Structure 1
Amino acid sequence: MRAIVTFAGVELRRFLRDRSNIFFVLIFPLLLVVLIGSQFGGDGSQGRAAVGGADSGLRAELVRALEDDGVDVTLLSPEDVREQLARGRTDVGLLVPDDAARAYTEGEPAQVQVIAGTGANAPATVQHVRVAVQAVAAAEGQVAALVAAGLTEEQARAALADAAGSVTAPQVEVTDVDEVAQEFSGLGQFDLGATTMTLLFVFLTSLTGSATLIQARRHGVVSRALSAPVSTAQVIGGQALGRFVIAGFQGAYIMAGTSLLFGVRWGNIALAVVILALFAAVSAASAMVIGSVMDNDGAASGVGVGAGLILAALGGCMMPLEIFPDTLRTVAHVTPHAWAYEAFAEIQRHDGSFAEILPQLGVLAAMGAALLVLGAWLLRRSLARAL
């Protein structure tokens, strides 16, 4: 056991000496989580609207109506509204001219300008803006009708407020029968991206680290170690333990960072840690296989990156497994990513228990053990040939 820990310590020190790992292990994964969440995630709002114009009663009523409808509202100058639209930073621009504000105050018809953006959410947000404008217009029409009937404006508004409070608004409950939509319902903006990026980078970082085993073989470190009472299993075990610690740390860092910064829900934390640990073990063992079968560390790093990306894509890290065709989804289960993805999905979206993810955990454990044994056998075989 002491030999295994010694090899693991050497692996960790070599990893820490490479300063580029700070970016690729700690910073880059979180940047990708933000990118994926911004592009594909839903933030729970009904769109973004930038409202321009001087402070007035009309603008205040429109903003209130939009916010009540769940639209994110930003108050800007008319020039800034157009700039935000041009840059794609808002879905809809709503301009309230001064003459419209005056007309609204005087009880006359007022016209506002609605400018749709070019984003995918713009058409839906435009409908929310139109509904808000119509609601404000309808409310003012009701006040005008009551004033015409003999009430003062204050009495009319008070009567309408009392009537609104005593009436139960109709509710519409929509049930989506699409299985894919149901699977992702309630999922946070960054939840899916955080899961897939954790699996992608833990595996990718481990495979690219296979080069250290090749370098140890080339420089005679492994041969000298085996001249002592140390077995190839201990060498592989020590190297794998070092990679396992690195992979586990990176995965835990991404999980903690996304939870604190983006509010990602990981479900049962204890089960999430178990899934991560088993996946990290598979990743580390896979690196040992590549490091034992290849002789060139540069080529091994290239193979690690290529294989890591291909397996991640096939395992659901680039595109959710739920939208895979049935045949491709079956094929995807040759990768550890698919099993870990399903286990995380179960505890994140359905509050799954240990028993419910036990099949996935069992497969990951079997993969890790088989790859570790294979790596030890390949290392023993590789030592019989010259590098």
Structure 2
Amino acid sequence: MTRLRPVLALTGAELRRFLRDRSNIFFVFIFPLLLVVVIGAQFGSGSSSGRVSIAGEDGPLRRAVVAALQSDRTSVASGDWGDIVEEVSRGRTTVGLQIPDGANAAFAAGQPVELEMLPSSQSAAMAVQQAVRAAIEQVQLDGAQISALVSRGVPPEAAAESITAARSHVTAPTVRVEDVDRLAQEFSGLGQFDLGASSMVLLFTFLSSLTGATTLIQARRQGVIARALAAPVSTSQVLLGQAAGRFTIALFQAVYIVVATGILFGVDWGSPWLTGLVLISFSAVSAGAAMVLGAVLDNEGAASGIGVGVGLVLAGLGGGMVPLELFTDTLRSVSKVTPHSWAYEAFAEIQRHDASFVDILPQLGALTGMAVVALVVGAWALRRSVARAM
């Protein structure tokens, strides 16, 4: 325990130094969660099926269309037609629908009604248009059924109640859809924020580690490491303390994103202990890369810029920005050089396929090998830089 005390002291000092940087408050705690929300809102499988904005005369027709759309999980908003046209042009609304004056009276009288529909250029516009048409047809059918009963002498209110009661005794037809597309099968069952959360863990854990390498450069330049070596502390303990500090920073970022997304967005991370093993191994790789960067460079600004650049490139190549399933076979093979790719595959197995330890053993083995190489090279480079300074 006595030998570990200096290591723990150095580890705690590095973590405090990292958290003391006020810019990290946004980039470590807030920005990752914002990106999870953005990705989930755009691409999450649990997101709504579109947004329809309705303008025009209020009345039974409009209320019936809104109710039919909402029952189909379509988000419905209202506003002036001029504002809706602008929202559609900017992509904020999928489809705009205008109900002209007099439409409600014509609908009640069983006369034809012309509605104006304005689709956007979004990829979901065609599906939302079809949902709007289906909702209007449903409202039209309901009106026709009520009119038929009214023509037979049934009061309108009693006709509506009779149709509602009749539907409760009829089993609606069901449609079973089986995905034959490989991508559809791969992403089936994912929650709205699951994919974005796992990608952000990889992106920000590595980025936070590399940008945190600036504290190692400061420690070298300000003589903190040299003073530590002057104390009754061995070189191995100092190097281990620095490595543990980088590892703690990386693991802190990873665990924070996992816990926060699980609590705030209900992200299903699968087996906690398997997810923990992936986080530990990936954090170890990140720590080794940060040590290499902090030992080789002598300028904090250059280290921060290179760290961000390298982190973004590796994340993009390894599935931290675009799912690996969308890569070509050649690019998928190239991505194997990044730790992000192996961690992405491990998370995919755990989250989507309830993988066991044996199932993710290849990914854990690759990450562990990368971590050992990165930490050994980082310790060697740091030892050389300290020796040159002395």
How high is the TM-score relative to the length of structure 2?
0.90
Equivalent position SS for 1:50: strand
- The one-letter amino acid paired with 1:369 is V
Aligned amino acid, residue 261 of structure 2 = T
Distance (Å, rounded) in 2 between the aligned partners of 1:20 and 1:44: 32
In structure 2, relative to structure 1, the CA distance for the partners of 1:147 and 1:257 (3 Å cut) is same
How far off is 1:83 after superposition? 4.7
Distance 1:94 1:43 in 2: 24
1:340-379 paired onto structure 2 within 5 Å: 340-379=343-382
Q: Does 1:217 align with 2:210?
A: no
Match of 1:177 in 2: 180
2:76 is the alignment partner of 1:73: yes
Q: Does 1:207 align with 2:175?
A: no
Describe the SS at the equivalent of 2:388: coil
1:50–1:73 CA contact under 8 A, matched in 2: yes
Shift, 1:67, TM fit: 1.8
Equivalent pair of 2:282/2:343 in contact (CA under 8 Å)? yes
Mapped contact 1:207–1:301 kept (Cα < 8 A): yes
Moved over 4 A (4+): 77-80, 149-152
Post-superposition offset of 1:198 = 1.4
CA distance in 1, matches of 2:267, 2:88: 29
Structure 1's 43 and 50: CA in aligned 2 closer, same or farther, altered over 3 A?
Answer: farther
Q: Give the partner amino acid of 2:217.
A: I
Distance in 1, Cα, partners of 2:26 & 2:155:
67
> Identity across aligned pairs (percent)?
57
Partner of 1:33: 36
Q: Are the structure 2 counterparts of residues 44 and 383 from structure 1 closer, same or farther at C-alpha, using a change threshold of 3 Å?
A: closer
SS of 2:337's equivalent in the other structure is coil
**Structure 1 unaligned spans of 5+:** none
Give the conservation status (yes or no) of the 8 Å contact 2:239–2:383.
no
Describe the SS at the equivalent of 1:107.
coil
Partner of residue 342, structure 2: 339
Match of 1:18 in 2: 21
1:309-328 mapped onto 2 (5 Å cutoff)? 309-328=312-331
144, 148, 160: which one aligns with 1:145: 148
Structure 1 partner of 2:300 = 297
Conservation of the 8 A alpha-carbon contact between 2:40 and 2:47: no
The yes-or-no answer on 1:190 pairing with 2:178 is no
CA contact (8 A) 1:236 1:288 kept: no
- Asked whether the equivalents of residues 246 and 291 of structure 2 are also in contact (C-alpha less than 8 Å), the reply is no
- Partner in structure 2 of residue 122 of structure 1: 125
Cα offsets for 1:63-113 (capped at 9, x unmatched): 122122221222445455445434432211222233011122233333322
Give the distance between the partners of 1:161 and 1:46, measured in 2 at CA: 26
CA distance in 1, matches of 2:249, 2:154: 75
Offset of residue 204 of structure 1: 0.9
Any conservation in 2 of the 1:51–1:73 contact (CA below 8 Å)? yes
Query: Match for 2:378: what amino acid?
Result: G
C-alpha change, 1:331 and 1:380, in structure 2 (3 Å) is: same
Change (3 A) 1:13 1:149: closer
The secondary structure found in structure 1 opposite 2:112 is coil
Deviations 1:345-366 (A, max 9, x none): 1222222233322332232233
Q: Contact 1:267/1:351 (CA < 8 Å) preserved in 2?
A: yes
The aligned residue for residue 388 of structure 2 is 385
1:116 shift after superposition: 1.8
Moved more, 21-30 or 195-204: 21-30
Distance in 2 (alpha carbons) for counterparts of 1:157 and 1:212? 72
53, 59, 65: which one pairs with 2:62?
59
- Other structure's SS at 2:117 match: strand
In structure 2, do the counterparts of structure 1 residues 79 and 325 end up closer, same or farther at CA, with 3 Å as the change threshold? closer
Residues in 1 aligned to 2:376 and 2:271: alpha-carbon distance in whole angstroms: 31
CA distance in 2, matches of 1:216, 1:279: 24
In structure 2, what is the equivalent of residue 104 of structure 1? 107
**CA 1:80–1:306: 2 relative to 1, 3 Å:** closer
Q: Deviations over 1:194-217 (max 9, x none)?
A: 211111111111112223223323
Alignment partners' CA distance in 2, 1:313 and 1:232: 37
**CA distance in structure 2 between the aligned counterparts of 1:47 and 1:207, rounded to whole angstroms:** 39
Q: What is the number of residues matched between the two proteins?
A: 387
Provide structure 2 residue ranges, at least 5 long, that are not aligned to the other structure: none
Change in 2 beyond 3 A, CA 1:131/1:221:
same
Letter of the 1:168 partner, please give it: T
Gap change, CA 1:323 and 1:78, over 3 Å in 2: closer
Aligned to 1:232: 235
Query: What is the SS of the residue equivalent to 1:114?
Result: strand
Contact 2:251–2:280 (Cα < 8 Å) also in 1: yes
**Cα deviation code 1:293-320 (max 9, x no counterpart):** 3343333323222221121111111211
Correspondence for 1:4: 7
- Distance (Å, rounded) in 2 between the aligned partners of 1:13 and 1:45: 42
> Which residue is equivalent to 1:272?
275
Pair 1:136-2:134 in alignment: no
Q: Matches of 1:355 and 1:28 in 2, distance apart?
A: 34
Distance of 1:233 and 1:298 partners within structure 2: 28
How do 1:240-251 residues align onto structure 2 when only pairs under 5 Å count?
240-251=243-254
TM-score by length of 1: 0.90
8 Å Cα contact 2:213/2:294 also seen in 1? yes
Supply the distance in 1 between the matched residues of 2:387 and 2:247 (Cα, whole angstroms): 27
